[in-house]
Structure 1
Amino acid sequence: MKRLVSKIYIIILTGFMLFPSCIENLLEQEPTTELGASAFWKTEADATYALMGAYSSIRPIFDRDYHYDGLGEFLRMYNTGAAPIKFSTSNPSNYGGGFDAVWEALYGAVNRTNYVIENVEKMLSDAKTEKSVTNLESIIGEARLLRGMCYFRLIAMYGDVPYFGNIIYDNSEVASISRTPIAQVKDSILADFTYAIEKLPEQTQETGRASKPSALAFRGKLNLYWASWNNFGWPELDTFTPSSSEATAAYTSAAADFKSVIEDFGLQLFRGGEPGEWGVMGDAEVLPNYYYLFIPSTGNQNADGEMLMVFTHGGIGTGQSEELMRVFTGRSIEGSQNQAIPRFEIADRYQSTITGDFCEPLIPMNPSEPGARTALNSALNPESYANRDYRMKATLLWDYEKIMGLRSLQEIGYVPFIYKTWNQKITIDGEEYTTFNDGGTNRTGYDFRKFVRNYSGQGRSEGDYNWPVMRLADVFLMYAEATNELHGPQADAIELVNQIRHRGNLPPLAAEKTADKESFFAAIEQERIIELFAEGHRMWDLRRWRAIERVWGPPYGDGKWTIDTHGANQQRFFYNASELTYQRCYLFRIPPGERDINSNLTQNTPWL
């Protein structure tokens, strides 16, 4: 299991705490210019410094979760090999073998948290004051929350996984470790989350630090997933036996935790959940409030408490910047690379602000067709996008929508997006513009506004936005899901879903949308698609609901083409796909390199 150990080695040198290394023989290194462990772990400042190292090691595992949306039906990802965690696929089909690097990174992060937990626990016996005990226990609570998050991700991908709750100092300690049953790992995660709930403060004074509400939300989410696996089944994991009673108990526990987050801490949606203003079609001087939740200048303030937990980024000159703009937009904005692009299929999910229901489907048309720019419901007619969910304006660019161009840290004026007219001169209402340049990578007819900064001063890889790991809006929707599974549509859950809809300026759900359990589930799923788009949730939802076949069709079927706004077929997925192809989406592969070293590490059945 050498590869695993190369990621879970423990770094005793404090100078390495914030910047993980991949040197395999660090265990044999002696301290030279830095203090050794015997001189460390003396003060709360030491413990906090080590905890920040754990946060730093875990952040790159979760802050690019948008890649997982590329495994659903609404986001096209181009760059799958992005550092620091290299995914080797963004194909919605047969993807479970492309994430070996995630396994290694997660276990490296687990060992970092174990390092903090064990050493801070030793410090407790020497604590002189009650305040010091409280502070140290809070640090342990944060580390245990982070450890629980890592194991949660591991079981969600791989099912049964090796579990260790202690520091690993040498390869031999894990060279023959076996996989622990998922139920046992789940219970250990619950214990970590529960400790965090008990010890963390209700509110943290530092952005990026965990708090009691965030721990409650994660315990609720773990129970929701456990309930889903027991409710819908997980046949690919042949060691797992679903239980309806387990599902009911887990849904109940999840709902209780979510309800506490919603009611007990005075939290509310960003800007009170108000939609703000749509502005003018084809203009970007005014944008809906939802847009401002996802740019650093406004989203980081988080005065309302929408962001229950984030992973921080330092911005310019820190070496810890985010690269969301590089990923989510094109060359016209600081030379960005358009690695993530909305698919055509997402546009029809944005509902009417007038009826509150889906609009007539958009009609893809080639711009050379007569009336393509003016035909009713044409995907190329800007008026086809009027009176829709405000989150559409805040998230997407369609033909003739403008975005602020940026170059060399300066604003260069608005550029209109017009599919396949990259970097061309065009006159609109008597004013000359240069069209949006995506580098020729766009194959859908839409681009992103969400996550794209509209002000100067930062390059494409110099962002200081804090990636949302847990949002209050997600908690609203998870609560609605859990209570709906238990009791069908409930008044408080319907109201929470309507609050999410209100930020899109949509009317409340019509009566038929909440008439029964199935109808309300569809409404909840709809809001999860729109509200959480490109934040990395869709793939996990499809897997836990066993909905991949619902989206792409049954095994050995015709699959489904994705298309663009001009009506061209782009990609076809799951065509004549075998059952094994689907199974390899529902359960990920244990990395072969790990099994080559450790014969006790069994492989998941779909990958035998």
Structure 2
Amino acid sequence: MHSTPNNLLSRNGLGFTNKVPSQSLVDAYTCTDGLNIDKSPLFDPKSPYKNRDPRLTFTIAVPGSIFYNYQFETHRDSVKCWNYNTTPATRVDNQDALNAFATFTGYCWKKYVDLEDKADRTNSDMNVIQIRYAEILLIYAEAKNELGQLDQSAYDAINLIRSRPSVNMPIITLGKTTAEFRSLVRKERLYELAMEGLRLTDLRRWKIADKAMVGNFYGRVQKGLLAGAPQIDENGLANYDNVANRADLRVIEVRTFDPARDYLWPIPNIEIVTNPKLIQNPKY
């Protein structure tokens, strides 16, 4: 039994909302044509969550959706919302806009949240993800590519995930270079495995943490939407320099990552004391 749902739920759902997804993760998901939002003709900044990879809304509660039987809206002027736990639905104070500790990014996680836990959100018996078949397939596809053995089986592995009926995203076609396939696998891991505890180690082993884990950690524009799509790079990382109203994005925190230190953990002091021949990792 665990209390994970209580940590993730919205304030209307009586949760703590102390773990939240970022604006950059929301923007990383492609449109249903498989193109990044800065390239796809299907992307509309006025309706940014439409025509998107369905895993976006499987994973994240986005404004305008129904989350835990409440209208989920985090625009700060949306002081009332619909409560669908009653029949007929009733208008109630919208704690996801009014509460000082409502989601700071304007989004909530949907993974690990289930209405079956509504009666007792602190004692969920939902299985905690250790490993899924989707990850095994992505490990295989990545390994084949990095070994220089990119073949039909690697494409089949990634397409098994993308083409399942609930997702039904365009398949990855043959003929990709090693770099192109690497980009596809890395982004697929982001879409598929978000909130499963793997992102930090992925960023470190790919040696891109010094790009992904520095600078502003953004939440949504609190009283509006982004004027346009940010630029999405080959790793699925968003850059907002080209967005006209980027200054309106909420800065949750400013992150730092020192590549000369932070790709390694410190060696525990007890080990250094026990064996004086050990040399501490750099900058610790």
TM-score by length of 2: 0.76
1:440 maps to 2:101: yes
Is contact 1:351–1:359 with CA below 8 Å preserved after alignment? yes
User: Distance in 1 between the 2:65 and 2:277 partners?
Assistant: 52
Aligned-pair CA distance for 1:351:
1.5
- The alignment of Structure 1 onto Structure 2 pairs a total of residues equal to 246
Which residue in 2 is equivalent to 1:588? Answer: 265
> Equivalent residues in 2 for 1:143-182 (5 A)?
none
User: Distance in 2 between the 1:387 and 1:531 partners?
Assistant: 17
> Equivalent residues in 2 for 1:193-342 (5 A)?
321-333=1-13, 335-342=14-21
Partner of 1:478, secondary structure, is: helix
Query: 1:365-422, CA deviations, whole angstroms, 9 ceiling, x for partnerless residues?
Result: xxxxxxxxxxx833xx4x3211211111211112111112xxxxxxxxx212221549
Which residue in 1 is equivalent to 2:254? Answer: 572
Say if 1:597 and 1:515 are closer, same or farther in 2 by CA, change over 3 A.
Answer: closer
1:506 maps to 2:169: yes
Q: Which runs of 5+ in 1 are unaligned?
A: 1-320, 363-375, 405-413, 553-558
Partner of 1:385, secondary structure, is: coil
Say if 1:598 and 1:530 are closer, same or farther in 2 by CA, change over 3 A.
Answer: same
Which residue in 2 is equivalent to 1:478? Answer: 139
1:402 maps to 2:71: no
TM-score by length of 1: 0.37
Aligned-pair CA distance for 1:604:
2.7
Is contact 1:356–1:509 with CA below 8 Å preserved after alignment? no
Q: Which runs of 5+ in 2 are unaligned?
A: 222-247
Partner of 1:467, secondary structure, is: coil
> Equivalent residues in 2 for 1:407-486 (5 A)?
414-421=69-76, 424-426=79-81, 432-434=90-92, 435=94, 437=96, 440-456=101-117, 458-486=119-147
Aligned-pair CA distance for 1:587:
0.7
Aligned-pair CA distance for 1:596:
7.6
Percent of matched pairs sharing the same residue: 24
User: Distance in 2 between the 1:324 and 1:450 partners?
Assistant: 10
Which residue in 2 is equivalent to 1:562? Answer: 217
User: Distance in 1 between the 2:135 and 2:209 partners?
Assistant: 21
Partner of 1:564, secondary structure, is: strand
User: Distance in 2 between the 1:540 and 1:360 partners?
Assistant: 27
The structure whose Rg is larger is 1
Aligned-pair CA distance for 1:522:
0.5
Match for residue 528 of structure 1 among 180, 189, 205:
189
Is contact 1:422–1:439 with CA below 8 Å preserved after alignment? no
Aligned-pair CA distance for 1:432:
4.2
User: Distance in 1 between the 2:81 and 2:279 partners?
Assistant: 57
Is contact 2:23–2:219 with CA below 8 Å preserved after alignment? yes
Aligned-pair CA distance for 1:492:
1.1
Query: 1:41-71, CA deviations, whole angstroms, 9 ceiling, x for partnerless residues?
Result: xxxxxxxxxxxxxxxxxxxxxxxxxxxxxxx
Query: 1:212-258, CA deviations, whole angstroms, 9 ceiling, x for partnerless residues?
Result: xxxxxxxxxxxxxxxxxxxxxxxxxxxxxxxxxxxxxxxxxxxxxxx
Q: From the two aligned structures, give the one with the greater helix fraction.
A: 1
Is contact 2:11–2:102 with CA below 8 Å preserved after alignment? no
**What is the root-mean-square deviation in Å for CA atoms of aligned residues?**
2.9
**Aligned amino acid, residue 460 of structure 1:** R
